[in-house]
Amino acid sequence: MTDQFAYPPDREEASAKKVAALEALLIEKGVITAQTVDKVLAYFETEMTPLNGKKIVVKAWTDPAFAEKVVLDTPAAIAELDLPDGMAGAEGEHLQAVANTSGVHNLVICTLCSCFPWPVLGLPPYWYKDPTFRSRAAREPRKVLAEVGVDLPPDTEIKVWDSSGHSRWFVIPERPAGTEDFTDEMLMDLVTTEAMIGVALAGPAS
């Protein structure tokens, strides 16, 4: 869906090699240890993942009071949920949710670099950092969304939110129609990282 924004394979491979070389050098110099690297990776693989965002979205879909609170005071609303400790740290200091409605679609970008709500969505996808995506999404969001399969009615307002050190935005997508009898687990299957950024709608995986 977002292949047109992804790094070319050779560039991605080169970046991976640079990261590996830097990691090896830091370990060799005693700046970090291999255990430190493993611990950090495990932290993002098991604690700071899109599963947290899915739980927030489903709670908003099924609890009107929470849905209202999560956009008014996101940290306070999230604190009510059974989520991992540390949600307020590591890129989560200023989490802010915005909700899609029938007349408003929200899109999250970062024009400066790649600020991202790690505690809610995990690590950012490569294309989120791509300069082409960042600049075009800010300049012509409706066209970019259409190119990735999000064709919105002409009268739908598109709001673009620029994440920064002051705010880490994420989207509460609209709940798909016909899901009134779904369990929370079934609803979570409809929520993707892309939907929580605004480059996709919630729904069954294609």
> Which one is catalytic: 102, 113, 167, 206?
113
In a domain, 106, yes or no: yes
CB atoms within 10 A of CB 38: 10
In a domain, 202, yes or no: no
Q: In this model, does residue 155 exceed pLDDT 70? A: yes
Is residue 114 annotated as a catalytic residue, yes or no? yes
Can you tell me the distance from the alpha carbon of 31 to that of 23, in angstroms, rounded to the nearest whole number?
Answer: 10
In a domain, 203, yes or no: no
Is residue 113 annotated as a catalytic residue, yes or no? yes
Which has the higher per-residue pLDDT, 204 or 188?
Answer: 188
Is residue 115 annotated as a catalytic residue, yes or no? yes
For residue 58, the domain's CATH number is 3.90.330.10
Q: Which helix (H) or strand (E) holds 42?
A: helix 34-46
DSSP 49-98: SHHHHHHHHHHHHH-HHHHHHHHHSHHHHHHTS---TTTTSSS-TTEEEE
In a domain, 94, yes or no: yes
Is residue 102 annotated as a catalytic residue, yes or no? no
The amino acid sitting at 124 is P
pLDDT of residue 94: 82
> Which one is catalytic: 114, 135, 163, 164?
114
172 lies in which domain range? 3-197
> Which one is catalytic: 15, 110, 167, 206?
110
The number of folded domains in the chain is 1
198 Rama sector, left if φ>0, alpha if ψ -120 to 50, beta otherwise: left
In a domain, 205, yes or no: no
**Is 110 assigned a ligand-binding role in the annotation?**
yes
Read off the pLDDT of residues 162-202 as tens digits, 9 standing for 90 and up. 998 788 999 999 999 999 999 999 999 999 999 999 999 99
In a domain, 204, yes or no: no
| Token couple for 65 | 């009071």
- pTM assigned to the model: 0.77
